[in-house]
Amino acid sequence: MSNIIITGSSRGIGAAIAKEWCYRNKENLYYPISRWSDFDITNFKKFKEFIKNFDNFNKEDEKYYPIALVNNAGIAKQGSIFETSIESINKQFNVNFNAIVNTTKEYTKFCINKKIEGKIINIASTAGLGARPGRAIYAATKAALINFSLSMSEELKPYSIKIYIICPGAVNTDMRHELEPDDDFKNMLQAHEVGKFICNLIESDNFLNGQILEVKK
């Protein structure tokens, strides 16, 4: 039995990870942080309280501790810089970057306190590795996440907490349909393929830590 936290678990890659994780072992659990569970990832105080609840677990309930945090929640807005409002910029950074800084901080404090060699999977994007005209702010949030994750992987080495930076290319998800409705969805990377890849990372004892892992066809 192993348990993980998944943000943005209601659809797309997050839902695929949840499905794959539970499929692998019927006793596996995941803690959903999503609109479906009425848990806004930008409610920083609520996430802190959620993590603090594990302090109330007794010895026999330690099996319910999360061994990994999957930071998957994200949003993207299409449009040139001239069409992008300050509100849109702030919202994208709040969901795609600020919230992940918060979840990472709270989860790592939990791992250090409980002496857990946890894993953090930060799902960025290949958009964070290069130019994305029409989605410049989204690309900037993912670039920020990538560099934050690289720095955190070094900071957390003394505690044996690993950071994985996943940069998927185009994936057949609801978000992709909204952004690029004319894409060839049949022949692109599917959400369940990314879900399997991420579950493999969580389950395996590998030597990866801090690398940028591109996942694409």
Active site residues: 138
Which is nearest to 124 in space by CA: 95, 150, 145?
A: 145
Q: For residue 173, which of 36, 6, 13 has the smallest C-alpha distance? A: 13
Return all residues near 69 (Cβ < 8 A) that are at least 6 apart.
4, 5, 7, 103, 104, 107, 118, 119, 120, 121
Q: Is 169 exposed, middle or buried (0-12, 13-18, 19+ CB in 10 A)?
A: middle
SS3 69: strand
User: What φ, ψ does residue 70 adopt, rounded to 5°?
Assistant: -105, 105
How many of the other CB atoms lie within 10 Å of CB of 57? 13
Structure tokens at 75: 């949003």
